[in-house]
Amino acid sequence: MATGSWNAKLSDSSDVVLKAQGVNWLMRKVITMATVTLIVTQTKDASGNILLDIENKPSGGMPGAVEKRVLNWEPVELNHTLFGNIRGRSRVVKVDALEDAWLKGGWEEGTEEVLHFKTEHIDSKGVVTQQVLGFVKVEGVRYQARRVLVTTEGSDKNVEITIIYDYLGTGEVSQ
C-alpha cells in the first residue's frame, strides 16, 4: 500500500459488515452516509518492520480515527471507539497462504503478496473480521482494494464486501 490519500466511492456498502460486527443501527446509518478518505503513511521501524498509519477521515466533520499497524503478525489488543475490545494482527502474506477462498480471489493478475489484517472482536464473542488489501482491475483501470470478510462462530453465513479505493494523490485532502 503506497503512501497517499484514497477514497472509497466505488465500493460495496459497509452496512452489512458493520451490522455483523455489532455496530448499532444509528451509528451504521451515520457511517454509511459519510464519504471516507484514507490517508496512508508507510514507514519502517528500526527492526525493519513495515508500519502503516491509516487515517480514516470522514466527510461532514465527523471525527476520524487512525489505525496503526505493524506488519509482523504479533497480536495487539486495544479498546476501539466503535468496536470495543479487539485483538488484531497484521502482515504481508502470500495469496496462496490465505485460508479463505474468497479472500484469495479477485486480485490483479500476477498478485503474489497482499496485506492481511485479522481482528477478533473480543466483546462480540466469536466475531472475526479479516481484511486483505491488494490491487484489482475494474473496467481496465487499476485500483487499490480491500476485501472484507466477517465470520461469526456458530453461523454458516459469512459477510463479504469489497472496498475499492480511488487514489487521490499525496497532498492534503480537503473534504
Residues in the chain, overall count: 175
- Domains defined for the chain, CATH in brackets: 4-167 (2.40.128.20)
pLDDT tens by residue, 97-126: 999 999 999 999 999 999 999 999 998 878
pLDDT tens by residue, 120-151: 999 887 899 999 999 999 888 899 899 999 99
Which of 67, 52, 13, 3 has the alpha carbon at shortest distance from 35? 13
Angle of CA points 53, 57, 58, to nearest 5°: 150
